[in-house]
């Protein structure tokens, strides 16, 4: 008998969820935020503007010409009219969104919504308006808290971001282009998007436009799981990619703002970069890219005092694994200043633990980038055979050059070509290690290159100015 065709069982059809109940449930806790700016304008009494007054004073003082008579009394000279005090005019600055955290009037929004505002007006869905006080704003995370004088308000419920899944339906409520209580919906496109130093954003395809900033991102349980904050756009309008601040991070910031009006963060004083998969494999770190490569260590910083060196790879901070370099600023920033923590680093093929006392990050501190100062060549540089096969001519460092590059040893690249040039090595770079072998001088460098497996990429740790990085030299196949 011929085999019967097998009918595939189709997956159960799932329709688009009904967001109407969510809108009714959460909508009353979403507010419109209008910001105003005070500007000064000068006006003058009847009889002319500012130029008239100045001209009258000019003629009176320098030509002795009497002031024009008072039209109502020609024989009576008119008294000079003094400009009135500058008048304060309130002009609109912008419109954003927010949501009520507590029923006694604490409202969360974006820092950029209230930045520079002289007055903040919060409008509820029942059309009541309140002048709000800015409790605090944190530019680094773009989170702000304002307070209105009201009680018995509808407040949102905060959800668990850890349970959020990619592909899950979410909804936003806000005031795009000033259109109050506008509801849009979509799905979670990705989690942990790195678009800033301190926040792993939630990416969605929910329609977000100017005015939505500060509004809530809501899951199907009616819980707020994010603050709508940014969009990716080439036109200024929505293009299908929007970003929300995870609510757990935002609440942590909000608690500090409510307690002290500012956010205190930790710092250890390092500049970092990603570790690529090729570098991780070549130095024996593992089969996947992980950790944060220390490119430079700030002089006098907690990291320097603890013995951290440029070229180290930080793999753990206070017991937490550093999967990506961007994890480190968040872990350090969330650590209370003064806390002593254990930091695990990978250096020259081995791990070691260092104890670091976290310092306080200065408000809006800007990380300093190391310069790229070319080193002056020393006299008597001689090419080494093994190094030359990679396209390198290196020389010894003078004591002054060691101090300038902040290294204990190494060799200076005097010329570069072929494989080394293709790897990105430049003249003036200081090579401090080949693979996991530390280099003190040209002789040790030559020996390390001679021992390196030429069938695989050769990892080179170098200093360029004050920055350290790994580059891979791929030897030519002979």
Residue 213 assigned to a binding site? yes
Specify the pLDDT at position 180. Answer: 86
Active site residue 142: yes
Residue 142 assigned to a binding site? yes
In the predicted model, residues of the chain with pLDDT beneath 70 are 1-14, 39-93, 195-197, 233-237, 287, 363-388, 477-478
Specify the pLDDT at position 324. Answer: 86
Specify the pLDDT at position 31. Answer: 95
Identified catalytic residue from 97, 138, 142, 189:
142
CB burial of residue 78 (10 Å; 0-12, 13-18, 19+): middle
Residue 212 assigned to a binding site? yes
Specify the pLDDT at position 178. Answer: 83
* The CATH fold of domain 385-473: Pdz3 Domain (2.30.42)
Identified catalytic residue from 97, 189, 213, 229:
213
Q: Which residues contact 292 (CB under 8 A, 6 or more apart)?
A: 272, 273, 274, 275, 313, 314, 322, 324, 325, 327, 328
Active site residue 213: yes
Query: In sequence order, what DSSP letters do the residues of 250-294 get, joined into one string?
Result: HHHHHHHHHHHSS---EE--EEEEE--HHHHHHTTS-SS--SEEE
Which residues pair with residue 437 across a beta bridge?
A: 434
Domain boundaries, the chain: 157-260, 266-360, 385-473
- Contacts made by residues 270-273, CB under 8 angstroms, sequence distance 24+: 270/294, 270/295, 270/296, 270/297, 270/298, 270/301, 270/303, 270/308, 270/314, 271/295, 271/296, 271/298, 271/367, 271/368, 271/369, 271/370, 271/467, 272/314, 272/325, 272/328, 272/329, 273/325, 273/469
Q: Answer yes or no: same fold for 266-360 and 385-473.
A: yes
Both tokens assigned to 37: 């700016």
* The CATH fold of domain 157-260: Thrombin, subunit H (2.40.10)
In CATH terms, the superfamily for domain 266-360 is PDZ domain (2.30.42.10)
Both tokens assigned to 141: 């995370």
Identified catalytic residue from 112, 248, 323, 414:
112
Residue 211 assigned to a binding site? yes
């Amino acid at each position: 008998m011929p085999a019967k065709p097998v009918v595939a069982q189709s997956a159960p059809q799932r329709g688009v969820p009904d967001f109407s109940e969510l809108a009714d449930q959460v909508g009353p806790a979403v507010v419109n935020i209008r910001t105003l700016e005070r500007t000064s304008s000068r006006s003058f009494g009847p009889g002319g503007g500012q130029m008239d007054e100045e001209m009258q004073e000019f003629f009176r003082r320098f030509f002795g010409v009497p002031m024009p008579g008072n039209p109502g009394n020609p024989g009576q000279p008119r008294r000079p009219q003094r400009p009135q005090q500058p008048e304060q005019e309130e002009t609109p600055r912008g419109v954003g969104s927010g949501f009520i955290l507590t029923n006694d009037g604490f409202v969360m929004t974006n820092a950029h919504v209230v930045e520079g505002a002289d007055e903040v007006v919060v409008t509820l869905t029942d059309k009541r308006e309140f002048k709000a006080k800015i409790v605090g704003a944190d530019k680094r995370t773009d989170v702000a808290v304002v307070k209105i004088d009201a009680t018995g308000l509808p407040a949102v419920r905060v959800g668990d971001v850890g349970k959020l899944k990619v592909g899950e339906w979410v909804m936003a409520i806000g005031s795009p282009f000033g259109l109050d209580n506008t509801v849009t919906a979509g799905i979670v496109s990705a989690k942990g998007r790195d678009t800033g130093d301190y926040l792993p954003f939630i990416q969605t395809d929910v329609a977000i436009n100017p005015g939505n900033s500060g509004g809530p991102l809501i899951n199907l349980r009616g819980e707020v799981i994010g603050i709508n904050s940014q969009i990716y756009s080439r036109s200024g309008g929505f293009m299908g990619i929007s970003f929300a601040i995870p609510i757990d991070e935002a609440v942590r910031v909000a608690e500090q703002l409510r307690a002290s009006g500012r956010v205190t963060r930790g710092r250890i004083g390092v500049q970092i970069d990603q570790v690529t998969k090729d570098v991780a494999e070549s130095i024996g770190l593992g089969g996947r890219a992980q950790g944060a490569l220390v490119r430079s260590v700030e002089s006098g910083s907690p990291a320097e005092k603890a013995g951290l060196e440029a070229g180290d790879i930080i793999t753990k901070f206070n017991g937490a694994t550093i999967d990506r370099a961007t994890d480190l600023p968040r872990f350090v920033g969330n650590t209370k200043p003064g806390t002593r923590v254990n930091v695990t680093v990978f250096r020259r093929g081995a791990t070691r633990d260092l104890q670091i006392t976290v310092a306080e990050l200065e408000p809006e501190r800007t990380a300093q980038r190391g310069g790229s100062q070319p080193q002056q060549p020393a006299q008597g540089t001689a090419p080494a055979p093994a190094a030359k096969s990679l396209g390198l001519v290196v020389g010894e460092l003078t004591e002054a050059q060691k101090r300038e590059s902040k290294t204990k040893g190494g060799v200076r690249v005097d010329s570069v070509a072929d494989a080394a040039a293709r790897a990105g090595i430049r003249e003036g770079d200081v090579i401090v290690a080949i693979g996991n072998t530390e280099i003190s001088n040209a002789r040790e460098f030559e020996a390390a290159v001679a021992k390196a497996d030429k069938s695989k990429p050769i990892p080179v740790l170098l200093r360029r100015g004050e920055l350290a990085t790994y580059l891979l030299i791929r030897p030519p196949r002979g």
